[in-house]
Amino acid sequence: MDPKTRPHPRMPIAAGGWSRRQTLQGFGAALMAAGMPVAAAAQERRRLHFLIPAAAGGGWDQTARAVAESLTRTQLIDTVTFEHLSGEGGGRAIAYLVATAERQQGTLMVSSTPIVLRAVRGTAKSTYHELTPIAALIGDYAAIAVRADSPHRDFASLAAAVKRDPGSVKVAGGSVRGGMDHLVAAQAFSLAAGVNPQNVVYYPYDAGGDALNALFTGQTDALATGLGELIATPRRGDLRILAVSAAERVPEAPEAPTMRELGHDVTFVNWRGFFGPPQLPAAVADAHAKLLGDLNRSPEWAEVRHRYAWQPLYHSRAEFAAFLAAEEANARRVLASLDLA
């Protein structure tokens, strides 16, 4: 393992649950204001801790580790550490970040569309509104896939099976019911098969990796997840991607037709970005945002995006806040239209 991307010395990468860890100190102006010497502050700026709100193997994990890899390759950061804290569709990680905010100034939590969906549903105790938006970085198309040995050779066949008997097709996803993967499957089959979205049989898993494993082991018949997760899996040859949510075919998966190409007006890209703890000093938040902005402009990051078929979707700190507000309004409309709010 690259020593620059090692797990936190007191926090092994875990599958989930609450954990205690040694925290990093804040950096930038906040450190110097606290009396830390300039040299020490500069050294601390070379460290970053990532909070991943799900088990290993999903899109959040994939994104955090890809960012960490690129930050060290570009020498923007010397040391990165990771912490998995799964549960409640990211809710436990948000609550943890809120409760420990004073000692989390060197922490960035990765998240994406589901963080908005859980806020819209109104059932969460803690939401992203309490956090400090830092920047959005990439977009990942949604995809629907089956095993390579599935009797369903194309999306039309799978949709026909759902139409005949919705209960006969079990769809896995790496988000909670009412989360992103569930919405993708519900919308796709409601349009293609004419079924009530609530009748789509959806099996929620803690992360995309668990959902993918459920498909491979035969626990489910199909999978709704991020395209990047399907492209990156070592078992890509054991999968058949039936449809993607892009407007045009994706060069990294040219065999996969788009939903629009199949006659269904479904286009969607799942943004992924980063949040800091509540009441993060502006100087520290700006330093985090600049770091991600510098990364976004690097050729190393462009290479990583290509590897996962991710789309450039960078939003600076100010833009990200406005983007989230627009995403929340759109999420309310989509959830209402599918009666899944």
Q: Are 248 and 302 in contact (CB under 8 A)?
A: no
CA end-to-end distance (rounded Å), the chain: 43
- Distance between CA atoms of residues 159 and 194, nearest Å: 9
Please state the φ and ψ torsions of residue 326, each to the nearest 5 degrees: -65, -40
For residue 152, the 8-state DSSP code is: -
DSSP helix/strand/coil, 252: coil
The residues that bridge with 109 in the sheet, in sequence order, are 51, 275
* pLDDT attached to residue 292: 97
Task: Tell me what pLDDT residue 341 has.
Answer: 57
In this predicted structure, what is the pLDDT of residue 92?
92
Integer Cα distance of 255 and 11 in angstroms:
41
Please give the pLDDT value at position 334.
Answer: 82
Please count the other Cβ atoms lying within 10 Å of the Cβ belonging to residue 267: 15
Q: Which residues in the chain come in under a pLDDT of 70?
A: 1-45, 340-341
pLDDT attached to residue 80:
95
Cα–Cα distances in Å, from 138 out to 38, 111, 312, 320? 33, 11, 5, 12
Q: Are 108 and 134 in contact (CB under 8 A)?
A: yes
Specify the pLDDT at position 45: 55
Domains in the chain, ordered, with CATH?
A: 3-139+271-337 (3.40.190.150), 141-269 (3.40.190.10)
Q: What is the pLDDT of residues 309-328, one digit of tens each?
A: 999 999 999 999 999 999 99
Pairing state between β 311-315 and 222-226: unpaired
